Chains A and B, each alone.
Chain A
Amino acid sequence: MKKVLCVLLAALILLPTFALADEVVNVFNWEDYIDESVLAQFEEETGIKVNYMRFTDNEEMVISVESNPGAFDVVFPSEYMVERLINKGLLAEINFDNIPNFSNIREDLKNPSYDAGNAHSVPYMWGTLGILYNTKLVDEADVQTWKVLWNEKYAGQILMMDSLRDTMGLALRTLDASNSMNSTDYTQLKAAADLLKDQKAAGMVKAYGLDEFKDKMVAGEGALAVVYSGDAEYAIELNEDLAYVVPQEGSNIWVDCAVIPVSAKNKENAEKFIDFLCRPEIAAANVEEIGYCSPNEAAIEMMGEDYQNSNVMNPSDEVISRCEYYHDLDEMWLNIYTTLYSDVLSTKVK
């Protein structure tokens, strides 16, 4: 009896590994960042099973990729994380022969500074960082500058983003529009962190958090929130009192890319998947679902004028000129950013 039980047990434990034998592609994407029905379409067309996994934070994603080698075939880091992954030697070169649909991507996003030579990444979505505000509660004139986040009028109604680079970056720009969001000047960084600490200590901030704030803004649980343009689009669609602005001091322009880790077990499937995402109708379906802006020109064309003219979805050249990419920081500077930011997060309301 016991013998049978043990054999059974061993079989039970071994079971899950055998179940993984088919052709698969392991995709690691941002939470809520795809129209899930296209996954089924991909599976149907190619017979490759998509294991779809999600993350919510760039830093967390890199650590997952590093500490789970072989677990992922396609990952979607933001621009500066592409750079870090390249620097760490974690990314495979993509064989662009397998991605004919790459030609649909906007020219100005090709061969970017974060992936010189454009060997490792294919842009998936792009956009800006800005402020989502409730027009019923916030004066439009106030919100043209990041300083609105320090405006006493809105004390206790501000939702900040718990994201190292974004929050430090916007504080740097608040100090001085000429500051780089990639600053490696300790005095600037310290001043930026102090600014954020003051903001928190003075009770200006309602909460630090992540994407959930778009729903809070829709529900009217805050006056102002720092968000990505795509989330703003989603929120505005659900609540017409909301509006989005990229403050005049300038901001970050981000590009989330598809990349293939060097440890990928199914590289060819990964390339098939990336090419599939670059198909205009697939890219359009994804934009339709998640409301982010696609770098895929053919897709934007398909979607019609509404999309082409939306200033949230398609930032004007004037806005783009005020924005910059994030770049990867070396270990030392990253530690300095992290230390200063950790100080901000631990600040208590006075």
Chain B
Amino acid sequence: MIDLTLPAWAGWAMGCGLLLFILMVALSVRRNHGIKRSLFAMPYTLWMFIFTLLPCVLIAYYALTDANGRFTLDNFRSFWDSNHIMRENLRAMGGDEMAATVARGSVNVDTLVYSLWMAFLCTAISLVLGYPAALFMADRKMKLGATLVVLFIIPMWMNFLLRTIAWMSLLEDNGLINAFLEWIGIGRRQLMYNQQAVLLGMVYNFLPFMVFPIYTSLSKLDPKLGEAAQDLGCNEIRTLYKVTMPLSLPGVISGITMVFMPSVTTFFIPRVLGGGNTRMFGDLIESTFKTAGNWNLGSALSLIMMVLILISLSILRKADPNGEGGGIV
């Protein structure tokens, strides 16, 4: 393998070089009247190349090599069969019989499927809760849109980790909700450390990401469209169903993307609210890197994650070919 490693100051050099580059561009504008404006994008291009494209290539590189830097597909085999390396190790130590008893381990695949399912549930719940919210916010008669957007943004200024921890004090056995339940005579029950608690935490954290893009695309709609539909004899529900909803589709798609993605990969929420009973794929990637220290397998898992997301996004994009989805901006 070619040794491509760089000394420690390389990072500094890269950063300083880029800053210099910006300076140069700024200066050359003054000197050279004929400078092309498209050159302004050069530092950015360089930056994105070093800090986005190159790291992606590195993930692929680590995923396709072993700890010694040799090419291997073992990491992907380990994804499919989490017991693969263990079986090989037993065999290497002469335990052929034992190795034969080791069945395919489905931990990684199962965790992925479970995460996708949880993310699907979270997205669906957010959509069901968020769409009406966005619709009502965009209602011109209420004249509350702008204020409500701010009200939806403000909670996000509280640190995300702490917001999740706050749910702990609500859901604990001796927490506030249980105290309330006891007070009204229902009695205490275990609310934490299960799938529902994790879902609640996810919906709580990601709901605004569903509401904003839908709101943006709804508020861009021409109110005359709805009026026209009603003049043509549609009742309110039919107008909603036939006119408003299809036209807000870009926002919906953008919202789905923005909720689905972080929910597949979250690892903090299941850890705090799930207490190890709801392991998700992000959790698996994190512990593969941080506790097991297996960068190669971790990269393979990340790569699989990335590819899956890109595929599902390109399917979603088909539904919104113009890419007009609102985004949070």
Given contacts A2-B26, A10-B19, contact A332 B290 (CB under 8 A): no
Provide a sorted-by-A list of 30 A–B residue pairs whose CB atoms are within 8 angstroms: A2-B26, A3-B23, A9-B19, A57-B291, A60-B290, A62-B293, A63-B291, A186-B98, A205-B276, A205-B277, A206-B193, A206-B275, A207-B192, A207-B193, A207-B276, A207-B277, A208-B277, A209-B275, A209-B276, A219-B172, A221-B172, A332-B93, A335-B89, A336-B86, A338-B292, A339-B82, A339-B83, A342-B107, A346-B279, A348-B277
- B23→A220 contact, CB < 8 A: no
Q: Using a Cβ–Cβ cut-off of 8 Å, how many residues does chain A contribute to the interface with B?
A: 40
Per-residue contact bits, chain B 95-134, to A (CB 8 Å; 1 contact, 0 not): 1001000000101001100100000000000000000000
Which of A1-51 touch B at CB < 8 Å?
Answer: 2-3, 6, 9-10, 13
Give bound CA distance, A150 to B270, whole Å: 24
- Measured between beta carbons, the chain A residues less than 8 angstroms from B172 are 219, 221
Q: Which 4 A-B pairs have the closest CB atoms?
A: A207-B275, A208-B276, A332-B89, A63-B293
Interface presence of A238 (CB below 8 A): no
- B82→A342 contact, CB < 8 A: yes
Give bound CA distance, A216 to B93, whole Å: 43
Q: How far is the CB of A159 from chain B (nearest CB, A)?
A: 8
Q: How far is the CB of A52 from chain B (nearest CB, A)?
A: 21
Interface presence of A345 (CB below 8 A): yes
Give bound CA distance, A221 to B16, whole Å: 53
Which of A244-269 touch B at CB < 8 Å?
Answer: none
**Set A59, A208, A219: member contacting B292, Cβ < 8 A:** A59
**Set A3, A160, A187, A345: member contacting B279, Cβ < 8 A:** A345
- B92→A332 contact, CB < 8 A: yes
Give bound CA distance, A303 to B95, whole Å: 53
**Set A10, A59, A162, A336: member contacting B89, Cβ < 8 A:** A336
- Measured between beta carbons, the chain A residues less than 8 angstroms from B277 are 200, 205, 207-208, 348-349
Q: A333-B89, A335-B86, A343-B82 given; name 18 further pairs at CB < 8 Å.
A: A2-B26, A3-B23, A6-B23, A13-B19, A59-B292, A60-B290, A63-B290, A63-B291, A63-B293, A164-B291, A186-B95, A200-B277, A206-B190, A332-B93, A343-B105, A343-B107, A346-B279, A348-B277
Interface presence of A194 (CB below 8 A): no
- Measured between beta carbons, the chain B residues less than 8 angstroms from A6 are 19, 22-23, 26
Q: How far is the CB of B78 from chain A (nearest CB, A)?
A: 9
* Closest partner residue, chain A, to B26 (CB atom): A2
Interface presence of A315 (CB below 8 A): no
- B292→A3 contact, CB < 8 A: no
Which of B13-68 touch A at CB < 8 Å?
Answer: 15-16, 19, 22-23, 26-27
- Measured between beta carbons, the chain A residues less than 8 angstroms from B170 are none
- Measured between beta carbons, the chain B residues less than 8 angstroms from A112 are none
* Closest partner residue, chain A, to B29 (CB atom): A2
- Measured between beta carbons, the chain A residues less than 8 angstroms from B275 are 206-209
- Measured between beta carbons, the chain A residues less than 8 angstroms from B23 are 2-3, 6
- B193→A10 contact, CB < 8 A: no
